Amino acid sequence: MPENIDARGMACPQPVILAKKALETTEELTIRVDNIAAVENVKRLAKSQGCQVTVEDEKDKTWTLHLVRESGAVVSQELPDIVCDVAEKQESGTSVSGPCVILISSNAMGQGDDELGRLLMRGFLHTLTQLDKLPDEIICYNSGVKLAIKGSEVLEDLTELEKAGVEILVCGTCLNFFNLTEQLGVGKISNMYDIAGLMTAAGRLVRP
């Protein structure tokens, strides 16, 4: 029997986290959400979990998503990229509070030319050090962990941000995957539980 989740009214990324937890114990899930950002995030989750997904567009800005895991599907243990629509919350009158969290999932910024992307990422992180208002946390995962290792071109900027009070969390699973655990140069090794908790509590999620 499929599990049912009513995630209407929940702040991003709670619907995705609840769905991810449910899929650890069931092969079929139905979840209701009330904003398009949640729809897209759950669809990304479905793909990462090897699930077929269908979406029913109901009235009054309600969507019902049905997820069914395919036989023999390869399941990712990591959360997919999550995009929270802060502007939508502001327009609806919902207050936006909580820390500003920057998510870095790659050692390059944007898609296209990798060399240009690395140049942009260096510029972005250096610019952060010059801002009057700093982010509260920076989370590095996937190939983004390569920015936090010894010898990184942005190690000095990340170190300066950490000294200024910015908490830098580095995905331990990702470091292990790239065999970089012993080369960590800044920040602290973290796990998906802590990362998901920070993302849930965030007032703003920024992904360069």
Query: Which domains are present in the chain?
Result: 3-81 (3.30.110.40), 100-206 (3.40.1260.10)
Indicate the angle between helix axes 155-163 and 114-130, nearest 10 degrees: 30
- Read off the tokens for 17: 């986290």
Q: From the CB of residue 45, how many other CB atoms can be counted at a distance below 10 Å?
A: 26
- pLDDT surpasses 70 at 1: no
Residue 3 vs residue 77, higher pLDDT: 3
Phi, psi of 128 (to 5 degrees): -55, -35
Beta strands in the chain (DSSP E): 3-6, 28-33, 51-57, 63-69, 100-104, 137-140, 167-171, 188-190, 204-206
- pLDDT surpasses 60 at 104: yes
Look at 106-115, 162-171, 175-184 and tell me which has the smallest mean pLDDT.
106-115
- What pLDDT sits at residue 97? 56
- What pLDDT sits at residue 149? 97
Mean pLDDT, all residues of the chain: 87
CA atoms within 13 A on the CB side of 155: 11
| Residues 169-197: tens digit of each pLDDT | 999 999 999 999 999 999 999 998 889 88
- What pLDDT sits at residue 82? 64
Sign of torsion, CA 184 128 79 146?
Answer: negative
CB contact at 8 A, 143 and 112: no
- pLDDT surpasses 70 at 87: no
Please state the separation of Cα 1 from the chain's center in Å: 30
Bridge partners of 52? 68
- What pLDDT sits at residue 81? 64
- Residue whose C-alpha is closest to residue 11's, from 48, 37, 46: 37
